[in-house]
Amino acid sequence: MRWNGYRWDGVCYAVMQNSTDTAPIYKQPFNAEPPRSALVSSYVTPVDFFYKRNHGPIPVVDDIERYSVSISGLIDNPIELFMKDIWKLPKYVVTATLQCAGNRRTAMSNVKKVRGVGWDVSAIGNAVWGGAKLADVLELVGISKFTGTTNSGGKHVEFISIDKCKEENGGPYKASIPLSQATNPEADVLLAYDMNGEPLNRDHGYPLRVVVPGVIGARSVKWLDSINIIAEECQGFFMQKDYKMFAPSVNWDNINWSTRKPQMDFPVQCAICSLEDVAAVKPGKVKVSGYAASGGGRGIERIDVSVDGGKTWVEAFRHQKTGVPYIADDMNSDKWAWVLFEVIVDVSRSTEIVAKAVDSAANVQPENVLEIWNLRGILNTSWHRVKVQVGHSNM
Ligand SMILES: Nc1nc2c(c(=O)[nH]1)N[C@H]1C(S)=C(S)[C@@H](COP(=O)(O)O)O[C@H]1N2
Ligand SMILES: [Mo]
């Protein structure tokens, strides 16, 4: 599946798993998500089951000795950092969920067509990232912790990648975050070289990627090439002409991209993963399990499940560590990570099972897709619904 150092393979995980080196080549860039049921079989998502989202061919970095990241822009002393310099910095291990802003896009598109990769509910994963804190890295160029503006007017930190994509007219993928977030050690922004205790693999940004916890996946730039301290936010395509949330009335004829800010934090989200839509079940007890996550480090306060399409609700059991009840915003909870939930419900006839989460700021998910519909199909956080068909025989 690797040609000229680039992967040009299929969109679905099943295709990937079963293919051999001579398998037919499907689509490029490579995008993949695991089946729902596999997604919630563990709290930490195995690398193989972690969704993959790329906008261009996956680059190969094979000379790790020569690989470096330059830091320049509105600072006094630009530098060049090699992996050995980054490995020397204190290593932090952060469990953080990454979610593509387009997660659950297909369901939005089913209501009214949108543009973008058609994701089911699995463009999300939870990994244990190991790396240096960006706040420590920036100190090497003389920017101290908790800095909002540098002396020369730098206010944003731009990450520029190695991979090239057509949206940037053949230029590199890039994004930025505010300097105040980058220099805040508590924001846990990492330059990560490990994923789940192993060196990052190529799909996920080997040898070094940014991980911005609590923020849509698009800002966690993979295959980092350089860091630029800039006055305005990054002017790249994915910051300015994509990944923005518009009102339902905005269409491709009347859109004015400059009226909205680039999306950063993701809103409260949950999805049922134990049941496909439509699932055939026997009458009686049905286990409903899935994930919930919110952005900005907000915890998950509650997950409600309904078997009558939302008329009545039961609360699901939440956990991060198996069997240990989860407490939102507790010292012992992983603040950047998703929460898994589980509840046994009674189903006697064919119905719609619904789940919705509430985060620690009491934000709730909207009931329907239509009121949050947007032309790019991002942030579909509407109540997650699965239809179940109750069969009484031949099951
Ligand atoms: N260099 C680079 N970084 C990137 C992307 C990309 O195409 N190129 N895609 C972004 C998007 S939209 C998402 S959702 C995440 C996906 O990360 P993953 O493939 O490790 O799951 O990477 C982000 N970082
Ligand atoms: Mo994404």
Three-class DSSP category at 187:
helix
Tokens of 393: 């025989």
Global confidence as pTM: 0.93
Ligand 1 neighbourhood includes 156 CB (under 6 angstroms)? no
Please tell me the distance between residue 221's alpha carbon and the centre of ligand 1 in angstroms: 6
DSSP H helical segments within the chain, as ranges? Answer: 13-18, 36-39, 83-88, 105-111, 134-139, 179-182, 237-240
> How far is ligand 2, taken at its centre, from the CA of residue 217, in Å?
5
Q: Please indicate whether residue 53, judged by its CB atom, sits closer than 6 Å to ligand 1.
A: yes
Contact criterion met (CB below 8 Å) for 131 and 208: yes
pLDDT tens figures, 280-321? 999 999 999 999 999 999 999 999 999 999 999 999 999 999
- Quick check: CB of 204 below 6 Å from ligand 1? yes
Residue 75 above 90 pLDDT? yes
Bridge partners (DSSP) listed for residue 32: 52
The amino acid at 62: D
Q: What confidence tier does 373 reach under pLDDT thresholds 50, 70, 90?
A: very high
Q: Which ligand is nearest to the CA of 222?
A: 1
Mean pLDDT for all residues in the chain: 92
C-alpha to C-alpha distance for 381 and 377, rounded to whole angstroms: 11
* Three-point CA angle 17, 23, 26, nearest 5°: 85
* Residue 323 scores a pLDDT above 90: no
Could you give the domains of the chain? 2-30 (no CATH), 47-259 (3.90.420.10), 269-390 (2.60.40.650)
105 ligand 1 Cβ < 6 A: no
Residue 108 binned pLDDT confidence (cut-offs 50, 70, 90): very high
Give the CA count within 13 Å in the CB-facing half-sphere of 45.
Answer: 31
Instruction: State residue 29's pLDDT score.
Output: 86
> How many Å lie between the centroid of ligand 1 and the Cα of residue 288?
30
Asked if 384 and 355 count as a contact pair (C-beta separation under 8 A), the reply is yes
Long-range contacts of 109-113 (CB under 8 A, 24+ apart): 109/377, 111/369, 111/370, 111/373, 112/370, 112/373
Whether the CA torsion 341, 344, 345, 349 is positive or negative: it is: positive
Q: Which of these, 303, 365, 378, 308, lies nearest to 108 by C-alpha position?
A: 378
Whether 25 has a pLDDT exceeding 70, the answer reads no
Is the preceding peptide bond at 78 cis, omega within 30 degrees of 0? no
Residue 34 structure tokens: 């695991």
Tokens of 199: 């060196």
Amino acid at residue number 316: A
Q: How many residues does the chain have?
A: 395
